[in-house]
Structure 1
């Protein structure tokens, strides 16, 4: 089964549904319906180990939409047996009539430690990508490598699935690797425009070194968006999100280094008595007063986002394309909140640039 062609007004725009922490996964139903009606091309689901299991959510999202591409953005490659992940992808692909993309990530090291799971490397990811593509083509596979020992894997001989395989990450080495192997790349929230340019260059370099067309690998920027937001909303959507990333050991360092920021600022942030005493992820547990304090710990330049009027936010989307991104995934806000931005974006959109695009993200 090949992927059907689905076209919306803005195939170059996607959004993260259920952004960050949620206790109400059913909200995805109204969010994806609204996003499709607004003309977005794709919806992405970032998996969390609470009430954000990606297969259940993707199935629900696919069942209530007709054109919107649904993607995992991301799931880990070793939290399921490879056969389960392959089956999840083919089931969702056919359930949605070709509107599913499998986005995977290496995962956060400290979580692997806590869960007693092996840390993933590029070698694991390369083996995983190869396995998925073989299984999706109905091949019989015997595998013994970094990913594990699998004497016999086979789905069905009639399989012929054209499922986009996306990589979610942002380190320079990871991006060059992703460009050599994956169909598309989803970057990280809060990359500066300069960091975005470098990230795109890394992906293109990796693709070219592997003998691939460097522009065949689509690179998606992720833009935290708070349109006409009051202070409390800004703190929750922008400050809390960034602070949560910075909390994570090694993860925060990678984000800071990718942007070329000062690690001493990160150290002071983590040493702060409010931050160090936080009993969980900041975006899940911090109060507004705590977020006001945390805001004072972060330089303005550490919060690159789309904030302000619809016109200002739309220009920030355009900035991402100017920096080399092939697509923009809207984060933090819900469709009803970012709808005014789309009206402003329509005015400045480069229609010729996206004339041949469909909702397929790569």
Structure 2
């Protein structure tokens, strides 16, 4: 019988951010499993973070840990190739793989010569995947996913692979509830924003005639144990500031959290931001980050910070506000390990 993780509701990222050493994912996965986490997530990048390769490494290095993408895309692989990758990982691991999908980045799609993914394409794509995983034949398909004369993985195929939608826009949340098994949110969503997201997801599930409790909500929560001022600037301020630089990105967070858009306009108009030669988290100095921190209200940086006990309380608060699981963001397993001890004790008392 497969051993159940001590903390099935807790997870973290593999290879967070940019890396040139993808083999680190092997030890990170082993650490996460040893600490009792239920899942790890991989954000694919087109350099040395191929989803199939890294997830296979993590799954073969562990025995109970679930491994999910957060995310890859529906259109960067042919539907049969994507279905094959996922079913291979599913059978390789005894059913521990989960597929997280996102629409992708518009500018990257353009540079790759790809069209941006629509909701219709995404919905159609996942139904094709599910049909193939059930061993069905796809014949004469013409639609948003293209012209597909004949696709089959074999009649014997019977793989139930959870599908997660990675997104946080208001319309996207409802869409996720309609079509997916789970929704993976975004960093810096407030308690009220989390409750609002949960409601929108459940409304989508109800619209589709699904049980809303079957759609799991994963809160991505920045965590910094006893952060120094430099930690706060680099892990929180710089990350949020970089989101606020991206066209259309911060607007979705502002809408979900019901923040004042005027704060964002003042941020973009400031000299320190407008003169930045690249992403703030990549190029800003500590002195510049101090100046930028004055432009971002504290309530725009919801996170688990402080002592291990305070961080544990913050994690539990996410669960109490509608999250089914937490994706620990911005800290490595060794950094957040002390929080687990406090979390274990506090969870047992609730």
Query: Into which bin does the TM-score normalised by the smaller protein fall?
Result: over 0.9
TM-superposed deviation, 1:281:
2.9
Listed as ranges, the gaps of 5+ residues in structure 2 are none
What residue number does 1:52 align with? 49
What residue number does 1:67 align with? 64
SS state at 2:214 partner: coil
What residue number does 1:359 align with? none
Name the CA distance, whole Å, in 2 between partners of 1:79 and 1:267.
34
RMSD (Å) for aligned C-alpha atoms = 1.7
CA deviation string 1:214-270 (max 9, x = no partner):
101111111011111222222222222222222211112111111111222222222
Name the CA distance, whole Å, in 2 between partners of 1:69 and 1:98.
8
1:330 is aligned to 2:328: yes
TM-superposed deviation, 1:6:
5.0
What residue number does 1:212 align with? 210
Q: Under a length normalisation based on structure 1, what TM-score does the superposition of the two structures give? A: 0.92
The answer to whether the 8 A contact 1:6-1:68 is kept is no
1:245 is aligned to 2:243: yes
CA deviation string 1:299-333 (max 9, x = no partner):
11111111111111111111111111111111110
CA deviation string 1:109-147 (max 9, x = no partner):
233233332111211111011011011112111321112
What residue number does 1:358 align with? none
What residue number does 1:276 align with? 274
Name the CA distance, whole Å, in 1 between partners of 2:47 and 2:265.
29
TM-superposed deviation, 1:350:
5.3
Question: Higher mean Cα deviation, 177-186 or 261-270?
Answer: 261-270
Name the CA distance, whole Å, in 1 between partners of 2:163 and 2:299.
32
Q: 1:194 to 1:350 in 2, by over 3 A?
A: farther
Listed as ranges, the gaps of 5+ residues in structure 1 are 353-362
Question: Higher mean Cα deviation, 301-310 or 262-271?
Answer: 262-271
Name the CA distance, whole Å, in 2 between partners of 1:41 and 1:252.
30
Q: 1:350 to 1:122 in 2, by over 3 A?
A: farther
1:30 is aligned to 2:45: no
Name the CA distance, whole Å, in 2 between partners of 1:341 and 1:200.
26
SS state at 1:118 partner: coil
TM-superposed deviation, 1:351:
8.0
1:8 is aligned to 2:1: no
Name the CA distance, whole Å, in 2 between partners of 1:53 and 1:105.
15
Q: How does 1:84-103 map to 2 (within 5 A)?
A: 84-103=81-100
CA deviation string 1:184-210 (max 9, x = no partner):
111111100000000001111111121
Q: Under a length normalisation based on structure 2, what TM-score does the superposition of the two structures give? A: 0.95
SS state at 1:14 partner: strand
